[in-house]
Amino acid sequence: MKRFIISIAIICAIVAAGIFSCVAVYEKNTRLYGHITGVLEAYGSDGDVGSEISSLESFFEKEYAPELCRIVNDERIGEISVMISRLRAMYQSDCDEFTSECEAIKKSAENIFRAELPDLYRLL
């Protein structure tokens, strides 16, 4: 009977860790989307895009990447980091693909969240 209780406790701990990781990724992605929306709004209204990009970079370097590197594969975080680092240069050179790069960052973050969700396909 003790083995059964210990087994149930281990399974509950694994499920709790999975739920915690999904919630953490969702919360960080929501904040990342807010920063990207701020950049796009400033870009569309000729606002201070430079400071919005700085805010996005600061959030990514200090909060997003360090916390999610414990949960998510480093390659996915690295891809987003490269995209964010290109934003300032794209804005300064008045590149036509600035908004599409912001949308690509959102899509990559969404893919990270989807990869963390439990799925029967991944179990088989």
Which of helix, strand or coil describes residue 118?
coil
Question: What's the confidence (pLDDT) of residue 122?
Answer: 64
- Round to whole Å and give the CA distance between 111 and 113: 5
Stretch (H or E) spanning 95: none
Question: What's the confidence (pLDDT) of residue 1?
Answer: 83
Its pTM stands at: 0.84
Contact indicator for 55, 98 with CB cutoff of 8 Å? no
Question: What's the confidence (pLDDT) of residue 117?
Answer: 81
The residues near 116 (Cβ < 8 Å, ≥ 6 apart) are 21, 22, 25, 71, 72
- Round to whole Å and give the CA distance between 43 and 101: 13
Nearest CA to 26 out of 122, 109, 103 is that of 109
The residues of the chain scoring below 50 in pLDDT are: none
Question: What's the confidence (pLDDT) of residue 123?
Answer: 62
